[in-house]
Amino acid sequence: MHSARHRRAAAAMTGVLTAALLAWLPAAPAVARDGGGTPAGGHRDEPALGAILVNPPTASLELPFDGVTDSDAERRLTAVAQNRLTTQCMARYGVTYAPQDPPAVSGPEDRHRYLFGLADPAFAAAHGYDSTAGTPRPPRPEEPELSEDAFTALYGHRPADTPPMLDPLSEEEAREQDSGVPVGGRSVPVGGCLGEGYRTLYVPKRTSIDPLFPFELASEAHARSKADSRTQWVDRQWSRCMTYAGYPGIATPYLVVEKLGLGDDLGGPEAIAAAVRDVACKQRVNLVGFKAAIETAYQERVAAEVADDLAAYRVQRATRLALAATLP
């Protein structure tokens, strides 16, 4: 562990270094400095790019799939709603069940904070690559003690029994099945009240789309963007800058921690020094601006390929959030 005094001294030194590095590091080609045009033009089968912002803060980025991806506040809303549905289900079996809700969301959200690697110069100077710094993880909620009947109603099987291998894919299908596991003279839902609460909210119908659909789409778009010639061009400019800064042989920003062998010491002086230079080089070549434009182009392309499914998912998500908002 590093003392607060040590961290403050490192932050003060690296804060000065950031400005010095931006002045000293070799200039990237003009296209990367002023945000105009596109790097290396792009191959014929690569999507055209829209506006290229100059070193935008990651918190300001808005990508196409953000509109179908839950925010922190929406994730908390649905988590609380799932708790309420589970509680209502348990009450049908004479069980009082009151799970602890997740903590309230506070502060601004930065959902793309690490999409292109560390990009915040102030955070780099203070914490290096220690992404957990400054955001203590809340304690794990205590699970209520459960009687045998309560356990059975919650999980859908007796404590001593092996849970079933597969749950129904939707609540519509689950309602057509009998678990054969009674509590108070009536069968509990397949998968228990936890299963019912989840399915009611996320997959109520046979035709419901997997709630991971937006994540899968964003992952596909990101994989394609990494293979794009313009992404590779920007990475080469960043790598060249890092070489001049004293960190040769690092091909992409995702490899810094591994290549430098930082291990678990992500917030120490060595990590902070590297992080400051890493972020300075990203700013020097406008890496976030270019990659955000490339990511946007691929998300738009993927969205067009699955337009019908995406439209159906938008309706499904809106219905889910509306239901969640009605639960006490």
Cα diameter, the chain: 77
* Mean pLDDT along residues 20-33: 43
Label residue 41 by pLDDT band (50, 70, 90): low
Please, which residues have CB within 8 angstroms of residue 15's CB and are 6 or more apart in sequence?
Answer: 125
- The residues facing 162 across adjacent strands are none
| Beta-strand relationship, 182-183 and 186-187 | antiparallel
pLDDT score at 303: 99
* Mean pLDDT along residues 160-181: 91
The whole-chain average pLDDT of the chain stands at 88
Please, which residues have CB within 8 angstroms of residue 173's CB and are 6 or more apart in sequence?
Answer: 206
Q: Residue 23 is encoded by which pair of tokens? A: 């002045």
pTM of the entire predicted model = 0.84
pLDDT score at 137: 72
Size of the chain, expressed as the number of residues it contains: 328
Residue 246, helix vs strand vs coil: coil
Please, which residues have CB within 8 angstroms of residue 274's CB and are 6 or more apart in sequence?
Answer: 128, 129, 247, 256, 260, 262
Q: Is the dihedral of CA 207, 323, 195, 105 positive or negative?
A: positive
CA-CA-CA-CA torsion for 52, 53, 59, 63, nearest 10 degrees? -20
Q: Per-residue pLDDT tens for 77-86?
A: 999 999 999 9
Please, which residues have CB within 8 angstroms of residue 214's CB and are 6 or more apart in sequence?
Answer: 65, 68, 69, 313
| DSSP calls for 264-324 | T--SSHHHHHHHHHHHHHHHHTTHHHHHHHHHHHHHHHHHHHTHHHHHHHHHHHHHHHHHH
pLDDT score at 43: 73
Q: Please give the residue that has the higher pLDDT: either 109 or 21.
A: 109
Cα distance between residue 326 and residue 109, in whole Å: 24
Residue 80, helix vs strand vs coil: helix
